[in-house]
Chains A and B, each alone.
Chain A
């Protein structure tokens, strides 16, 4: 018997198809480039001409590799995709670098508007040209006329649909055109640019003359970069594992073909190269498939919005290094993996013998990889500053990769060590365990993708949790007291009151905290050192509304309170407030010393005044539903005639009836109708940092796809195993084996390696997480972050088993026993 690694005898050097005596052309088993090329080509030919099953195997491999390559290209496109969104945002923004103080022929007033419709964010830009040559907004062919707006294709579609009915009420402009790609950050973006003639210098964001900020150059924060690096490693390794799994599909069919080759004179080295050629053909076909899938997916990038990310095909461009790596690594990996897999196989002329007692797996080199990874990461501990932007990318990536690869290589050893000890149990368990004992490598390889993904996901989750405090700010808003806050300019107090009434009458509103807000000033001459008269705010509203701003011991109509913030949130000292607002003090209802740019009081006109009742109580401020500590005067309607107040604003905080659909949108419509420049804010308890959100989004998209790929890999491996055991399954059924027994066997066979993989992933993920957190000197915030990942793993077991069942039951039919 010729054993693996043995040199071939001269008689082995004959090529299949040779009929005459061996000619002098060098040994067929030689290692020259020509011999390699010749044998790889022969294998490639077998891959496509090896009959139906050969072709099926090649197609399976190509499909597997194709999906892997496509995912790899998509993953490597994510950074550019997110960057291009920022670039697009900058390009269309009004350039604020130049201060334009007076109207010019090319100047325009602008106001950015953002509104929420159901769960979608709609951004808007209101413009009013001041001259006859305003620049055309990016993506538009002309400046919209008064009362007209340009809309993105997605917004146009929404407005034209029945679902957009409520939104049409909110945007009172005539649709005059479509915004092109240059003015949008993604094809699904909901955006409008309108010509609003009500814009003036009082209610604008600014005055501009051109569009386009410089392209963002600020690098990602070091911690975010760390996350991206780890995420890429986590995403890419399972793809390579999948490639390695895919090239092994249909091994038994191939074995028979190789034995036939040996029979006609091929030597061991040649048969291995032929086998590698078969895999190479599948891998190359897979590479083409992957490129094709990526090209198609790229075209449809705009059709999908995942976690608010949506991109133009032109923005989905892989990182050149990764793309090149995929083009080279996939074919090379297919050849190397095949040669590696055939190490323990003796291909003999009468058949292929897998070494009956597989070589015991060594632990030391697997631990060495792990240790090397940790050794690379440990010196970096404490080096990453949360606020910094530099990071030893190579060190972190190499360390993380080595740790992940170390854990992956540890899995086959762990599976082997564990299943060796499993013995007793029902028949289904015995069948599964025995199969794993005989060949745990296949299952472990498939599952190793899970180990990488799960380990990485756990480590990333730990990073996220720890960074929660840094990046997730508590807004201070209390959405249990009110869900929407609105502020609008009102000409008079009556108008302000009218606005509040309109909110109260709006469909879906269950309560309104409504106040009319203005200011009062200290009358009399300015004191030494004062440049303007001290002032305090005054809020007029019913007792319930006033109670949202201060802790009131009791309140009836006619009461007045002076409320103090005690300097909270950077508010002025109480002594500054009480210069103006104190019980019994007389206050001016107009600014005694208005700024020269503001309307002046007619000469000799009396200054309207009001006396704060001496019975007014001094109370403590409390955070209002928007989280702000205010200060000044709170007055009930009978205490002061609000009509006397100066330039009052209406402020409303609205409670919604959860039973009314679209209640929030009805409120937003009311606000827009009252004042198109009003501000509307949905109150949220927390708010995420934008950069943090986009990285998290990218990682979520990637890890979801990776998990799906791992599931697909496991499923294909299981189906392949079942297909190769068709005859055996049929004969087991003939023996009277219950379907349930075989079904359970498949479940155990899937579950044992996955559970072991998850145990390894949890241990490894927590360890890696601790090390990565230590890079930035961060403590562990939550040790239980692995639970969702374990949940996903268990769901994978169930999914793969369930999806295998139809094939299992089909293969258990008696057809498998037919030989003719």
Chain B
């Protein structure tokens, strides 16, 4: 592989108190690529995702995104980057319970300063694509878990991000719903050219990826980056 990675990390260390979560971890992601981050519980998968997304600052190591050193950016700049270039899907959706589904999907656009009507119009388009347009006016408490995850995927895609970070997106779903969410997520990301960092411990979920890396005891085995 010769192309420059869109997102890369080398020598990442991160500890929570005396407990090391990442030890010299490295990672690379090319544009449009779907990479599954696998490993047992507590291995450091989510911490790696949080570091790569600029949510958490590593104790050591560097992360570069699109030629910029992410670790050198201020909190404000990293927040702005997350609003414009990144999208997120979490295990439990993490939708804002007070907002309707369409308002939840439109939220990242509104955080970017887009007008409400325009934001919600785009949100509805993505909801249709994710097959949840019929629940647009409902609140998260009134829909099923699978629907909630698809709304969360729509929210992640609505800003047309270059990278989507998905942390156990099917962890709270049954297999049928999990399959559906993964199919819609990967199809949509491939259509838009978004890269996906997919944290999972399920092989059948990882099967949707182009490449798999394994995190064990905070260390990452990414053969391609090492090469």
Contact = CB atoms under 8 A, between A and B. Distances in A.
A170 interface: no
Contacts of A818: 16, 46-47
B92 to A, nearest CB: 8
Interface stretch (A310-318, A424-432, A776-784, A791-799): A424-432
Contact of B107 (A438, A735, A814, A819): A735
A820 B46 contact: yes
B94 A731 contact: yes
A439 B110 CA distance: 23
Nearest to B119: A427
B142 interface: yes
B76 to A, nearest CB: 8
A428 to B, nearest CB: 10
Interface stretch (A255-263, A594-602, A736-744): A736-744
Nearest to A435: B98
B141 interface: yes
B141 to A, nearest CB: 6
Interface in A708-753: 727-728, 731-738, 741
B99 A736 contact: no
B103 A430 contact: yes
Interface in B150-186: 155, 167
A431 B99 contact: yes
Contact of B97 (A427, A438, A734): A438
A229 to B, nearest CB: 42
Nearest to A438: B98
Contacts of B97: 438, 728
B141 A354 contact: yes
B96 A356 contact: no
Contact of B99 (A356, A430, A734, A820): A430
B41 interface: yes
Given A431-B98, A728-B94, A817-B55, A424 B116 contact: yes
Interface string A357-392: 000000000000000000000000000000000000
B108 interface: yes
A817 B167 CA distance: 10
Interface string B20-50: 0000000000000000000001100011001
Interface stretch (B66-74, B79-87, B127-135, B207-215): B79-87
A684 interface: no
Centre residue among A354, A438, A735, A741 by max chain B CB count within 10 A: A735
A104 interface: no
B15 interface: no
Contacts of A544: none
B56 interface: yes
B101 interface: no
B103 A814 contact: no
B91 A431 contact: no
Contacts of A731: 88, 90, 94
Q: Max chain B CB contacts within 10 Å: which of A424, A727, A814, A817? A: A817
A735 B108 contact: yes
A708 to B, nearest CB: 30
B52 to A, nearest CB: 12
Contacts of A814: 50, 55-56
A736 B96 contact: no
Contacts of B83: 735-737
Contacts of B90: 731, 734, 817
A437 interface: yes
Interface of A: 353-354, 356, 424, 426-427, 430-431, 434-435, 437-439, 727-728, 731-738, 741, 814, 817-820
- Minimum-distance CB pairs A-B, first 9: A736-B83, A736-B82, A731-B94, A434-B98, A435-B98, A814-B55, A814-B56, A438-B98, A736-B79
20 contacts: A353-B141, A356-B142, A426-B110, A430-B110, A431-B96, A431-B98, A431-B99, A434-B98, A727-B94, A728-B96, A731-B94, A733-B79, A734-B53, A734-B88, A736-B80, A736-B108, A814-B56, A817-B46, A818-B47, A819-B91
Interface of B: 16, 41-42, 46-47, 50, 53, 55-56, 76, 79-84, 86, 88, 90-92, 94, 96-99, 103, 107-108, 110-111, 116, 139, 141-142, 155, 167
